[in-house]
Chain A
C-alpha cells in the first residue's frame, strides 16, 4: 500500500478573488467558501475569519481543527464517510496544505471546548498557534439539539478543509513524502528478526458529544479493529469530540499522528510496524473489559512483541489505559503508554485516576491542571465569555481587561497524548 503526501507549504493566508495557493500564500474567495459552509441548513448564520501566527488574536471556543487535504489520485476521498463515500483510503496521492488549518468555532456546542492564542504565553502550548488559520464561526438555527449542531459543525469543517485543498490542485508542491508498507503478515516476513510493534490509538467514544468516528461510523458501537497507518493520513479517523481540549485528538492530530510518523520512520530499521488499532473508551465497565480484551487479542493475533498505547482524555479512560497495558503484558507483549496527568494545580496529586503494576513504561505529556496567565488579545474570534463553560476555566477566569487565568486544559492541544506538543518530560 503506497501513499504519497504532496505537501504544499502555506506561509500566509489572505482574502482574494480566487481560492488558490500562490507562492506559499493561501488566497481565499471569502464568499465562495462561505457558500460552501452555508450548504449546511442547520446553520442560521456563518462567518469566516483568518488569522496568522504571531497576531494578537484569541480564538474561542474551538471545537475542531482540520488540515486541508484532498485526494489527487487513488481510491476514495479524504474524510471517508463524510466528504467522500466509504471506500477505504490510504493509497495513491493526497494533497496537503501544510501550515494551514480550518478551525471550527461558534456559539458553544458543549462545555468542554478550548482556545487558541496566536501569540503570547498560550501560543507556546498549541500547535495551532503556528498554523495559518481559517476560522468558521457559526450560529445554528434556533431550536436545534446539541447533537445535531455538533454534527453540522463537524461536517462543515471537513467540507471546508476539502474545499481549500481541492481549489489548490494547481499549486506547486514543495515536498512529496512517500509512505509505503504492506500488511502486517508480509512486512513481518520481510523483517523476521525485528520486533513487531502495534499501536493502540485509544479514542474517546462516550456519547453525549464525546465521540470519535472511523469511516463515518460512530466508534462507540464498534469493537477494536485494525487499519493501515496510511488510512489515518487520509482522514479515516476524525474527531466529533466536545471534550477537555488540552488532550483531545482533533482531526488535525489524527491526520498528523506523530506516533504513526515515528513508527513508520523506524519500520524496517529497528522494528516492524504492524498497524494502527483504533480503540474505544467505553462508559461501562463491561465495555472497558471487552475492549481491552479485544485489543490484547488483536495484538497477539498479529504476533506483536510490543504495543504503543496512547490515551485520549483523562479520568475514566485511565482505566482503559491500565487494562490495555495489563492484558498485553500478561500475554508477554511489552507496552509503553503515553498519557498526560491530572495532578492538581500544585502538581502533587496522583497523575492518573487508576494504576496498575504492569505499567512500567510511561511517557507523560504534562499536567492538565497547571495554571497559566493569558494576557488580553487585541482581537477575539468567537466568544470569549465562553471561558466560564470551558474545562480549565471558571466564571472568574475572564477579567474585565480580557486577560485570563486558566488551567492548561483550556488550551487546545497543550498536553496532547499523541505527543504532538512542546511539553517534555524528564527521564525519571
Chain B
C-alpha cells in the first residue's frame, strides 16, 4: 500500500512500524521505527505522560521524514 500510494498518487508516505527489516524488504522508502508489534505508535508500559511523549516524538519524526527529500530507502531514527 505504501508503495502504491507513492507510485500511483505521487504522495510521499512515511511508514511507522516496528520490524524495520520487513519494511526494507517490502520496499518502503521513508521508515520510522515503531515501539513494539502490539503497540507500534506508543508505549503503554510508560504510563500517561511518558506514553504521550513517545507518541509525540514519533509523530514529529514522521512529519520530519515526510518533508525530507530522499534518494534511497531511509530509516529515520532521530
Q: Which of B21, B33, B36, B38 contacts A354 (CB 8 A)?
A: B21
Chain A nearest CB, measured from B4 CB (Å):
15
Q: How far is the CA of A353 from the CA of B17 in the complex (A)?
A: 13
- Given A206-B37, A206-B38, A208-B38, are A284 and B25 neighbors across the interface (CB < 8 Å)? no
Q: Are A316 and B25 in contact (CB under 8 A)?
A: no
Q: Are A353 and B22 in contact (CB under 8 A)?
A: yes
Q: Name which residue of chain B comes closest to A318, CB basis.
A: B22
Within 8 A of B (CB), among A297-322: 316, 318-319, 322
Q: How far is the CA of A205 from the CA of B37 in the complex (A)?
A: 12
Tell me which residues across on chain A come within 8 A of B20, comparing CB atoms. 285
Q: Are A284 and B21 in contact (CB under 8 A)?
A: no
Tell me which residues across on chain B come within 8 A of A322, comparing CB atoms. 21
Q: How far is the CA of A407 from the CA of B19 in the complex (A)?
A: 26
Q: Are A284 and B22 in contact (CB under 8 A)?
A: no
Q: How far is the CA of A283 from the CA of B18 in the complex (A)?
A: 8
Give A contacts to B, CB under 8 Å.
206-208, 283-285, 288, 316, 318-319, 322-323, 353-355
Tell me which residues across on chain B come within 8 A of A208, comparing CB atoms. 38
**Could you list some 9 contacts between A and B, CB below 8 A?**
A285-B20, A316-B22, A318-B22, A319-B19, A319-B21, A322-B21, A353-B19, A353-B25, A353-B26
Tell me which residues across on chain A come within 8 A of B26, comparing CB atoms. 353
Q: How far is the CA of A414 from the CA of B19 in the complex (A)?
A: 27
Tell me which residues across on chain B come within 8 A of A355, comparing CB atoms. 25
The answer to the question of B35 belonging to the interface, with a C-beta cut-off of 8 Å to chain A, is yes
Q: How far is the CA of A205 from the CA of B38 in the complex (A)?
A: 12
Q: Name which residue of chain A comes closest to B39, CB basis.
A: A283
Q: What are the 3 A-B residue pairs with the smallest beta carbon separation, nearest first?
A: A283-B37, A283-B36, A284-B36
Q: How far is the CA of A206 from the CA of B25 in the complex (A)?
A: 22
Tell me which residues across on chain B come within 8 A of A319, comparing CB atoms. 19, 21-22
